[in-house]
Amino acid sequence: MILVTGGAGYIGSHTCVELLQAGQAVTVVDNFCNSQAESLLRVERITGKTLTVIRADIRDRAAMEQALRSSGAQAVIHFAGLKAVGESVENPLAYYDNNVGGTVSLLQAMQACGVKTLVFSSSATVYGDPQRLPLQEDHPLSATNPYGTSKLVIENMLRDLHRSDADWRISILRYFNPVGAHASGLIGEDPQGTPNNLLPYVAQVAVGARTHVNVWGNDYATPDGTGVRDYIHVVDLALGHLKALERLRQHAECRAINLGTGTGYSVLDMLRAFEQASGRPVPYQIAGRRAGDIAACYADPAQAAQLLGWRAERDLQAMCQDAWRWQSGNPQGYRSDTSNA
Ligand code: NAD
Ligand code: WQD
């Protein structure tokens, strides 16, 4: 049994599908602060299997102990957290409380229940402004905003925990830029309000909900001047979690591993690929740089290949096609009329 915190969210729901399809029993803990219960109904529809859902906040340590005990979980995949960079600058305490405080509470509950296997959602944001590319796991760590600091604090906490008790088995997965959706078109990314991230914004332009994309800067030192990122299909990312769990069965370690493709694409590359996948125009305007953005960021995915036997298999076309299938079938996300979905 695997306990998945934040399992109703974007990456969590895709990981639940892969866990269930691999024959794992799954219990989700989510407070639905950034997700809809509908996503989990759709996970069940895709897989033809059921999962257990507990509505609880990870900051509620007693509820977490109860969830661990009642589920009989042997391991936890911990997605629950807040992730909007701009919001974290506006309201840093909410990020430290939810992300750091929530993780402390979860770890205390795990310790009390003797569950010491954890896969944690970290982010390439812990590399700060890259000093060299591609990013290897031993690149110096830094943070440029409270969201990033919260991930860095948690990473350090996990390393300290493992140093204090070598029975802990911890995989810190540093995601690059997750995009796309399940190939069924039934689950995908469902941002509340204006999307912060590029691909969901582009998808809303293609579907006609927004007029154009603002391209945040075309004067970076990149091939076409726009920002370069390592976009990774969310299903590949989900599969990386299963591989991480597999490795932890054999290794009592605390290790950070990049989950990326190793290839960088620019903003303009992404717009063109999305136009091709959707058959719709994606108008754009060049705007000024977004505060805090970096020019380029992509992974060296060699460690994941070597240690997990994992590599990303879905290309840019699949990322855009799957994102489009989700967006066009569910123009209002999970709040769309689902009767024909
Ligand atoms: P998401 O917001 O879609 O999912 C997070 C889920 O956690 C949501 O269902 C939310 O309701 C739940 N949650 C939040 N706080 C909670 C709490 N206190 N108690 C219980 N549930 C809570 O986000 P996502 O994109 O699926 O991201 C999952 C994880 O991966 C996050 O930790 C995020 O920081 C990390 N990450 C995401 C990205 C990205 O670009 N999506 C990149 C790197 C890392
Ligand atoms: C990608 C590129 C923008 C929107 C963020 C977080 C990071 C991680 C993933 C959680 C950049 C450009 C974007 C738009 C644009 N999240 N862009 N117009 O900034 O790489 O990473 O999400 O851990 O921590 O910082 O992703 O999708 O916001 O931007 O031109 O409307 O698209 O400038 O070059 P980013 P993004």
Top mutation candidate among 3, 4, 11 for ligand 1, by most atoms within 8 Å of CB: 11
pTM of the model: 0.98
For ligand 2, whether the C-beta of 196 sits within 6 Å is yes
For 5, 152, 158, 201, 217, the CA distances from 118, given in Å and listed in that order, are: 11, 16, 9, 32, 38
Top mutation candidate among 194, 258, 267 for ligand 2, by most atoms within 8 Å of CB: 267
Indicate which residue's Cα is closest to atom 39 of ligand 1.
178
Indicate which residue's Cα is closest to atom 35 of ligand 1.
121
CA of 223 to the centre of ligand 1 (A): 32
Q: Which amino acid is at 99?
A: N
In DSSP terms, which residues pair with 30 in a beta bridge?
55
The residues near 193 (Cβ < 8 Å, ≥ 6 apart) are none
For 142, 171, 231, 313, 317, the CA distances from 259, given in Å and listed in that order, are: 18, 12, 10, 12, 19
CA 293, 15, 78, 66: dihedral to nearest 10 degrees?
A: 150
**E-assigned strand segments in 82-151:** 117-123
CA of 81 to the centre of ligand 1 (A): 4
Q: Say how far apart CA 83 and CA 85 lie, in whole Å.
A: 6
Top mutation candidate among 3, 4, 5, 10 for ligand 1, by most atoms within 8 Å of CB: 10
Q: Quick one: which atom of ligand 2 is closest to the CA of 287?
A: 30
For ligand 2, whether the C-beta of 31 sits within 6 Å is no
The whole-number pLDDT of residue 340 equals 45
pLDDT averages per 10-residue partition of the chain, 341 residues: 98 99 98 98 98 98 98 98 97 98 98 98 98 98 97 98 98 98 98 95 96 98 98 99 98 98 98 98 97 97 98 98 97 76 44
Cβ atoms of residues 233 and 322 within 8 Å: yes
For ligand 2, whether the C-beta of 268 sits within 6 Å is no
Cβ atoms of residues 158 and 120 within 8 Å: yes
For ligand 2, whether the C-beta of 278 sits within 6 Å is no
CA 39, 29, 309, 169: dihedral to nearest 10 degrees?
A: 170
Cα of first residue to Cα of last residue in the chain, in angstroms, is 30
For ligand 1, whether the C-beta of 11 sits within 6 Å is yes
Task: Show the DSSP H helices in 114-233 as ranges.
Answer: 146-164, 198-206
CA of 85 to the centre of ligand 2 (A): 9
CA of 281 to the centre of ligand 1 (A): 31
Distance of CA 338 to the CA centre of its chain: 25
CA of 10 to the centre of ligand 2 (A): 16
Active site residues: 147
Cβ atoms of residues 30 and 55 within 8 Å: yes
The whole-number pLDDT of residue 290 equals 96
From edge to edge, which strands make up the β-sheet containing 254-259? 52-55, 26-30, 2-5, 75-78, 117-123, 169-175, 254-259
The whole-number pLDDT of residue 337 equals 60
Indicate which residue's Cα is closest to atom 43 of ligand 1.
123
Does residue 25 come out as left (phi exceeding 0), alpha (psi in the -120 to 50 range) or beta?
A: beta
Q: What is the CATH number of the domain that holds 254?
A: 3.40.50.720
The residues near 331 (Cβ < 8 Å, ≥ 6 apart) are 207, 209
3-state secondary structure of 268: helix
The residues near 183 (Cβ < 8 Å, ≥ 6 apart) are 235, 322, 325
> Computed from CA positions of residues 211, 194, 234, 183, in that sequence, does the dihedral angle turn out positive or negative?
negative
Looking at the 3D structure of the chain, how many domains does it have? 1
For ligand 2, whether the C-beta of 215 sits within 6 Å is yes
3-state secondary structure of 87: helix
Q: Say how far apart CA 125 and CA 297 lie, in whole Å.
A: 9
Residue 261's nearest CA partner among 142, 126, 124, 128 is 124
The whole-number pLDDT of residue 79 equals 99
CA of 74 to the centre of ligand 1 (A): 21
Which domain does 225 fall in, by range? 2-340
